[in-house]
Structure 1
Amino acid sequence: MKRTPIVIKVGGALLDDQAAMSRLLTSIQTVLATRPVILVHGGGPLVETLMASLGLSSSKIDGLRVTPDEHMPYICGALAGSANKTLCAAALQAGCTPVGLSLLDGNMVTCEPLDARFGAVGVPSAADPALLKSVLAQGLLPVVSSIGSSPEGRLLNINADQAATVIAELVQGELLLLSNVTGVLDGDKQLISTLDAAGIETYADQGVITDGMLVKVNAALLAATTLGRPVTIASWNAAIPEILNHATGTQVFPSPLPSGDTL
């Protein structure tokens, strides 16, 4: 269990916080001595800034952003290029040896278009773990962008939470969803240490978990259900060992918590 890979997903907002990025990569560097780590990232803010500068815009359907195929060269450049290499450079500074990858490299993950209405938005499926396992075996840090491809070679934009989940599925890893929040808070602004589907529904009905956090916990619940193990929502400012030891963050379980569980 000790050598179970840790899959860490970070949002693109981390790229705008140099201090937080440095702390996270330094924490990852210490963990690499005992466990493999894979860093999966999005880059929404970077993409939005680039698209605005190019005078490009896209709509949303049911909360999901439509990605026209003609936008993919720019999105690919922002995510697999700028965002990925910024994180790789920070990893080098922290003493890690990064390997920048995308979902399609080594046929790690295969992707299919979600629906014609959404353009080049894809759904990922775990495929071949050989490349990833080879990189991990060398003590390197894979830094994976959420750019995928269909078997026909069509580049696809993948939701970063889904990308991290499929990578965790690929290596049977422990998934941490990190952002600029400490975890899920209750009505008194106290950290909720554990959640399951019933707890999420109750807090949502009470108006305690709303908006972006509701999206986040539902993504964590889906990931936990897919992986068959808890997924942790925590802050990228916290030390990774603290998160792994459940000293901070919120664990989202795939099934109802056993009675009296205080994990």
Structure 2
Amino acid sequence: MMPHPVVIKIGGALLDDEKAARQLMTRIKTLQQHRAVIVVHGGGPMVETMMTGMGLTSEKVDGLRVTPDAHMPVVCGALAGSANKQLCALAIGAGITPTGLSLMDGNMITCQAIASELGAVGQATPNSSVLLELLIGEQFLPVISSIGCSKNGRLLNINADQAATAVAQLMGAELLFLSNVEGVLDEHGQRLATLDKAQLASLVQTGVITDGMKVKTDAALQAALQLKRPVFIGSWHTDPEALLNATTGTKIQPEATKAGDNS
């Protein structure tokens, strides 16, 4: 029986660290030898750079970028264009055969706008796995940007964490959230191997988890609850297989952890 596929969500900031990006692609190639891999990516820094260059500004509400429809050509160009193709080029450099995609391709993910005040910002729902099954069956690496489309043809900007969760749901996959941090740390700076909802809430209440890490853990917990399986937070500097084996990073559990899991 083949193991579950692995969805690896990476932030656009990886593209600012070419050495780390090349190392990650090399590790993905190794992982592909026995696991199907799918990459889902964002690209916030690239969006910011392109918008600033065009004299455009935007704000965020609860971590979501307010995106007027008039800004979507820029957002699409950054995410589905520049970021996606740079990642595909890095994959080719590692000897991988990538396929650059967005959430709408193959009707894999259906999307709908969340709220009028957010503009062209949507939520993602799993729909059809046909295209991804065909691609991973032929050893391609799908590289999916977080650009979606509504049923009436409106382009939508999807939060990359939520996009990755929807793709993982679609494929019954393991989900890794990779960034430039090694995992969730305690008040002494030590990595916490496993966390559940109650433990995360306690760390937030005591001020141990704040700011960007709270955004990551909130997304990972939401994904774990939706997928009904652990979700992993770790660094793109480490081996994805080590994360899957819980020898590095932090495993976010959808249910209460057993006593001693973090000892």
- Which bracket does the TM-score occupy, shorter chain normalised? over 0.9
1:55 aligns with 2:52: no
Task: Give the counterpart letter for 2:159 in structure 1.
Answer: N
CA distance in 1, matches of 2:220, 2:129: 22
1:160 aligns with 2:190: no
Q: Structure 1-normalised TM-score?
A: 0.97
Change in 2 beyond 3 A, CA 1:260/1:190 = closer
Report the equivalent of 1:9. 9
Task: Give the counterpart letter for 2:177 in structure 1.
Answer: L
Report the equivalent of 1:22. 22
Report the equivalent of 1:125. 125
**1:64 positional shift:** 2.6
SS in 1 for 2:101: strand
Please say if residues 192 and 262 of structure 2, whose CA atoms lie closer than 8 Å, have aligned partners that are also in contact: no
**1:218 positional shift:** 0.8
Query: CA deviation digits over 1:176-200, x for unaligned, max 9?
Result: 0000000000011000000001000
Report the equivalent of 1:137. 137
Query: CA deviation digits over 1:112-163, x for unaligned, max 9?
Result: 0010110000000000000011001001100000000001110000000000
1:116 aligns with 2:98: no
CA distance in 1, matches of 2:226, 2:121: 20
1:207 aligns with 2:240: no
Q: Structure 2-normalised TM-score?
A: 0.97
1:50-199 → structure 2 map (5 Å cutoff):
50-199=50-199
Change in 2 beyond 3 A, CA 1:188/1:2 = farther
**1:63 positional shift:** 4.0
1:28-47 → structure 2 map (5 Å cutoff):
28-47=28-47
CA distance in 1, matches of 2:23, 2:157: 28
CA RMSD of superposed structures (Å): 1.2
**1:3 positional shift:** 2.4
Please say if residues 63 and 215 of structure 2, whose CA atoms lie closer than 8 Å, have aligned partners that are also in contact: no
CA distance in 2, matches of 1:162, 1:22: 25
**Residue ranges of structure 2 left out of the alignment (5+ in a row):** none
Identity %, equivalent residues: 56
Change in 2 beyond 3 A, CA 1:203/1:146 = same
Q: Does 54-63 or 159-168 show the bigger shift?
A: 54-63
Query: CA deviation digits over 1:73-124, x for unaligned, max 9?
Result: 1110110010000000000000110000000000000000010110000000
**1:246 positional shift:** 1.0
CA distance in 2, matches of 1:86, 1:193: 32
Change in 2 beyond 3 A, CA 1:235/1:2 = farther
Change in 2 beyond 3 A, CA 1:161/1:63 = closer
**1:62 positional shift:** 3.8
